Structure 1
């Protein structure tokens, strides 16, 4: 939600310093993501005066003007020097005072002004129209200022459009704050100030009544709880007044024309989306222009205002005319066949309340998000439909020269009524742990729009919340509001009392913490990504779905890219890697512990195992003058897994080369399965470049993912005690020739099995390849073997016998040849 400070000031008294308001908003739970100065900081845009205006030598409609901008441009002696500007506006003339965008200016829409040549004549700027400055939709000519306008003054300062826009993050439970009036109420309660909101009113209603020319029918009240229609005649479509265009621009929309801008302005003002139909394009049925709110038919099509032909489903809601043709997609966007154009004379105004669920699914399924759908998804106040329509009618009257038809057609089957909630001040103080005065509770809730009446006995307050606050339903909701406005910082910290209670972590909780501690000690940073995932995440990664159940779909997702519960943590971590790389962070080492969700058609609830995943990208540190760290690779991830298992005292950990067909998202030859004994608990490896490319990553990334529940099942509190060896061991070297595709893990397992109890240690110290001496497709692997007995010193005969047995076994099991 973009909030204009200048606009907000007209509704509630604000501090002079914007940062003071920002601090109070953050204190009470509204995050401010950005503070954007507007107008005054529009650099290189100044007032000027046209000294001369001559026809362009090679154009029949352009002119070459010399424009005085005062000391904003000077010659070598420091004297004012006029700018030569080529201008194509029809109303340009010598002596006019204008707004000039000099070289280096950036206009709304990211239009950058540069030195240019227009048909061979140099131009050092641009004489601006009101539309190019974002002040209105008028682009018929340049903006002409009064004759007494000063020269060389910043345009924002002269035009009085200096403003500050707060970009605020509004949580889904606060739809009231998606409007300027609702935000003003919130700010008033936060600052302890009363609001002074003045809303325009219709001066005069005339002509035939709306009900005599329009009929409205709602087929399913579950999809549309209220539909209010007004008629405006004699509308003159044109540019908006400067004040209207400025406020619409500050709110984040581009001024288009007075009709569209009025509907957008009222939406930003009240939070109620509106839509204007060309009344002449809505057919007359039985003597009236008929409007029907109904479910879309399967396979039905509509061309929306963005020019796209969209196929609809029965879950979507449309506005249709009396002949059954869809003229708008309810809650999302209007249809091209009923669009208001310059020739439009009469307008049918819609102010309605549509189902949040249906609107959200329609927006998601069609990939079509609008300012209207954002508000409908969070629930629009049905009680305010008629008031918003009346405000819009007043503005149509003032800005479009319209005549407002008498009355409205208002179909409201089940009016919204707010329930009375009993609030106990003593309970508020008990829950909050603060001595909050009852008077503060009454004043704060009243400023939020609640009706507060003390009970006769004074033990509680009867509170009726405004219908615009669907989040206020129970006593605890009002307790939270009081505490939020009182301030968590004003609550004195105390230690909770505990009588005859012993606390502590369970064994599983201690092990969970140990996992994080081990990975942080290994150099990784903990992160937290959403449990929600984008549909097709596994497909994008290339991860097979075997063993991960079915996707758990979200019935009413907040955004289109969070349509299901995640089945792997890795896609979210890869997005974090991409985000860091895009923002100049080259070395990324992240891990996350969390749940994944595996659905099943035979179970009411999905399985929710806990996984631990990590991604490594870059190096352990930056280059220094005397060293360059090696890039993170497979063995760094393998070492982290080994150290994690060592900290958890997991025995029988082993790694097995991963088959490419089972792990297509990993690079062949750089991937392994992680096993405890015979149980597979996860995988690790280099992520395949094609998978990384689909996440926008062009760097190597190593990842691992472990089933944390399975891993902790193998964890031990203590390892079995083993005596420190006191007797000497005997070392023997063994070189064997094996096939090239033979892996180290298999060799070690076979040697260990063949060596028996006397074999205490195995270490690979050399790998040698030579087509002549070793053979094509072969390699020689040399191992250092340590033999030791716990109760005696081994003799040469003992070792020779053990080696002979070992060589015979591995020669058969591995098909190996022992090198002399």
Structure 2
């Protein structure tokens, strides 16, 4: 909802600074997305005077004009002379005051004014019509100003169109705030001020009564709660006056003609959508024009005002005419039809002010992907009790601005008038839920300002308010709704913070929450940045990169997806992270290190809900840091990702961690030989590896990417307790190097595990520092792995005999177990 500050200021006293009102809106629950200035669109557009008008030498309809734009005068070479402008309009003469867009100006419709040539003659700007300025639909000629108009004045300053607009995000329950009157009422409640509204009234009614001209029938139930029709005859359709155009422009609504603009203006003013029909579009029966509200038939075709032919579904609301409503003329509550629109040839107008069913209107607009200002309001419920009053306002304006003659009375079909019941609001309950002693006088004033009628009974905390909610507030149905209104106006920031009352319970994070936060801290310490992607995924995103469905259940489909490409719940975090890498690379950022902690959703056959599982995943691409004169970072590869996982598991005190090759179809998305499963004992925690080039190509990534994905629940379950403090040894250590030649398929992990097992308590450190292959010196199919072994005792200094004895025992056991031999 775009709120014109000037328009709002005419109804209620406002602070001088719009940002102050914006802060109050946000405080009370109405988000303000932006504060804009409408007049900025008239930059480099000024008032001017036509000095000369000569026929174009090479055209029979163009004119070469010299235009005085005051201090802005400049010729093609930059000299201070009047502007030469080629113009095609025929409605002006020498001496006329006009509006000129100079070079650099931008007109509505993204039209940029540049220096150019028309039929060989240089033109240094444009003489503008009202339509080109976005002020009205009039394009018969350029805009002629009064004779006393100044020369060279910025056009926004001249017409006073500079207006501040607050772009407010109205929550679905506040349909009343989708109108200027509703916003004025809200401001009055916030600041405890009166607001006033000047409503135009019909001056005189004449001719045959509306009831003798029009008949209205609600054929199908559940489509329309109330339908009001009025007739205005002898209407002169034309451009709207400037004040009306300016107000509609400020609200972001495009102008058409005076009648259509009036209906849009009244909608923005009151919140009640209206529609103006050409009365002749309705068929006549028994001397009356027939109007019917009915449900569409399955497959019925209708052409809407945007000149699109739409195929309707059964149940969609239609305004129709003819026998049993055979001929549709409008989509009820959404958009009119091409055959019934008001045009320059329209003489008699039927004004519709109705209340269409919110649910049916919402389904119609969304099923047809046709969201309009009217449908937005109807689906949030409009005030059906005001239909007649709003129709009268529209007719009064048509009478004033289009010279129409308003027919007496209206046709009002209202099958079931709304009945409201008062709501009891207990003062004690307000204090209990709000946690603040809000004064009874404030409660009564706030609710009254919001349009409710309030009567109080009782004294002290026993006081009870009988509140009759306003008809334009359908969201106020319970006591808690009233309490929410009182609290948001009083100020939730004024409620003092207190500790919740509880017995035998202390606050704090659970073990799972603590460890989840610790996981994030560890990964950030490793240089990764946290990200958060949508929980939605595209169908087949796992298959596209080679991931299998094994262990992931079936896809969970979304009934009403927000994005057409994301119709399932995600079953892995990796596709979203790869999209983040792709986005960053396309924006010239190759060094990407990200992690995400999120929920995965696995569907199950014949189950009412999917299985959910927490997961942690990360991606690393590029390098850690940028190239400098004294530092050239290495590209991130498999062992960098493995190191991050090892550090994570080490900090979590995860026991019996080991890695085994990730082979087979289950890991087709990883580079062969550069992927590993992560295990804790016999439990598979996840995997780490380099993404396969084919999988990277799906996202257009042309550099290596290391990734990992771990089961967070298994990580937390297997995390060990904090290790007890152990003193550092005061005794020296002894180091031995050992190179063992083994078969090529013996892994470092296996060999290291055997070394630690054979070394006993004295072996405190094992570190691989060399791997060597040579068919001649080592042997074909063999490799030499060299380890640095550290021996130390905690209670004494080791003797050479102790070390030799332990070392010889270790070598014997390891060589026997692996079939290896010590390399000489």
Conserved 8 A contact 1:737-1:774: no
Matched ranges for 1:88-487 at <5 A: 88-218=88-218, 220-284=220-284, 288-314=288-314, 316-321=316-321, 322=324, 324-455=326-457, 459-487=463-491
Cα distance in structure 1, aligned partners of 2:112 and 2:423: 56
Deviates more, 1:256-265 or 1:13-22: 256-265
Matched ranges for 1:517-596 at <5 A: 517-526=521-530, 533=536, 536=539, 538=541, 547-551=552-556, 553-554=558-559, 591-596=595-600
- Structure 2: stretches of 5+ with no match in the other structure: 794-801
Conserved 8 A contact 2:539-2:567: no
Conserved 8 A contact 2:41-2:107: no
Cα distance in structure 1, aligned partners of 2:291 and 2:776: 88
Cα distance in structure 2, aligned partners of 1:301 and 1:462: 50
Closer, same or farther in 2 for the Cα pair 1:639/1:122, shift >3 Å?
farther
1:805 is aligned to 2:816: yes
Deviates more, 1:347-356 or 1:677-686: 677-686
Closer, same or farther in 2 for the Cα pair 1:692/1:801, shift >3 Å?
closer
Provide the secondary structure at the position in 1 that maps to 2:95: coil
Compute the displacement of 1:115 (Å): 1.2
Conserved 8 A contact 1:540-1:691: no
Closer, same or farther in 2 for the Cα pair 1:602/1:76, shift >3 Å?
closer
Closer, same or farther in 2 for the Cα pair 1:174/1:528, shift >3 Å?
farther
Closer, same or farther in 2 for the Cα pair 1:478/1:54, shift >3 Å?
same
Closer, same or farther in 2 for the Cα pair 1:103/1:175, shift >3 Å?
same
Cα distance in structure 2, aligned partners of 1:371 and 1:146: 36
Matched ranges for 1:372-771 at <5 A: 372-455=374-457, 459-495=463-499, 501-526=505-530, 533=536, 536=539, 538=541, 547-551=552-556, 553-554=558-559, 591-600=595-604, 602-614=606-618, 626-627=630-631, 637-654=641-658, 674-682=678-686, 704-718=708-722, 731-734=737-740, 747-748=747-748, 751=751, 757-758=757-758
Cα distance in structure 2, aligned partners of 1:366 and 1:76: 52
Cα distance in structure 2, aligned partners of 1:75 and 1:241: 35
Provide the secondary structure at the position in 2 that maps to 1:443: helix
Conserved 8 A contact 2:75-2:82: no
Compute the displacement of 1:714 (Å): 1.9
Closer, same or farther in 2 for the Cα pair 1:537/1:23, shift >3 Å?
farther
Deviates more, 1:465-474 or 1:14-23: 465-474
Provide the secondary structure at the position in 2 that maps to 1:39: helix
Deviates more, 1:126-135 or 1:167-176: 167-176
Deviates more, 1:588-597 or 1:716-725: 716-725
Provide the secondary structure at the position in 1 that maps to 2:100: strand
Cα distance in structure 2, aligned partners of 1:300 and 1:499: 64
Compute the displacement of 1:574 (Å): 6.9
Aligned-residue Cα RMSD (Å) equals 4.4
Cα distance in structure 2, aligned partners of 1:653 and 1:505: 27
* Equivalence for 2:798: none
Compute the displacement of 1:242 (Å): 1.2
Provide the secondary structure at the position in 2 that maps to 1:510: helix
Provide the secondary structure at the position in 2 that maps to 1:49: strand
Cα distance in structure 1, aligned partners of 2:661 and 2:227: 64
Cα offsets for 1:527-581 (capped at 9, x unmatched): 55666x47759579867666254425356x7888887766555666677778888
Closer, same or farther in 2 for the Cα pair 1:660/1:9, shift >3 Å?
farther
Cα distance in structure 2, aligned partners of 1:460 and 1:698: 70
Deviates more, 1:171-180 or 1:533-542: 533-542
Compute the displacement of 1:37 (Å): 1.4
Deviates more, 1:115-124 or 1:211-220: 211-220
Cα offsets for 1:376-411 (capped at 9, x unmatched): 343333334443333333333333333334444444
Closer, same or farther in 2 for the Cα pair 1:244/1:540, shift >3 Å?
farther
Compute the displacement of 1:95 (Å): 0.7
Conserved 8 A contact 1:91-1:142: yes
Cα distance in structure 1, aligned partners of 2:76 and 2:355: 65
Conserved 8 A contact 1:364-1:559: no
Cα distance in structure 2, aligned partners of 1:696 and 1:380: 49
Conserved 8 A contact 1:91-1:141: yes
Deviates more, 1:294-303 or 1:65-74: 294-303
Provide the secondary structure at the position in 2 that maps to 1:130: coil
Cα offsets for 1:698-727 (capped at 9, x unmatched): 998765544322332222224699999998
TM-score by length of 1: 0.84
Closer, same or farther in 2 for the Cα pair 1:77/1:318, shift >3 Å?
closer
Cα offsets for 1:44-94 (capped at 9, x unmatched): 111111101111122221111111111123589999521111111221321
Provide the secondary structure at the position in 1 that maps to 2:36: strand
Compute the displacement of 1:101 (Å): 1.1
* Equivalence for 1:51: 51
Compute the displacement of 1:494 (Å): 4.7
- Structure 1: stretches of 5+ with no match in the other structure: 811-817
Conserved 8 A contact 1:296-1:312: yes
Closer, same or farther in 2 for the Cα pair 1:27/1:66, shift >3 Å?
same
Larger C-alpha radius of gyration, 1 or 2?
2
Conserved 8 A contact 1:758-1:788: no
Deviates more, 1:453-462 or 1:544-553: 544-553
Compute the displacement of 1:19 (Å): 2.1
Provide the secondary structure at the position in 2 that maps to 1:515: helix
Cα offsets for 1:123-167 (capped at 9, x unmatched): 111111112222112121111110000111111111111111111
Closer, same or farther in 2 for the Cα pair 1:262/1:796, shift >3 Å?
same
Conserved 8 A contact 1:737-1:781: yes
Cα offsets for 1:647-678 (capped at 9, x unmatched): 32223445566669657877777766555455
Conserved 8 A contact 1:40-1:163: no
TM-score by length of 2: 0.84
Provide the secondary structure at the position in 2 that maps to 1:239: coil
Provide the secondary structure at the position in 1 that maps to 2:747: helix
Compute the displacement of 1:40 (Å): 5.7
Cα offsets for 1:355-380 (capped at 9, x unmatched): 44444444444433333333334333
Closer, same or farther in 2 for the Cα pair 1:521/1:403, shift >3 Å?
farther
Cα distance in structure 2, aligned partners of 1:561 and 1:47: 50
Compute the displacement of 1:13 (Å): 0.9
Cα distance in structure 2, aligned partners of 1:698 and 1:351: 60
Conserved 8 A contact 1:538-1:545: no
Closer, same or farther in 2 for the Cα pair 1:644/1:127, shift >3 Å?
same
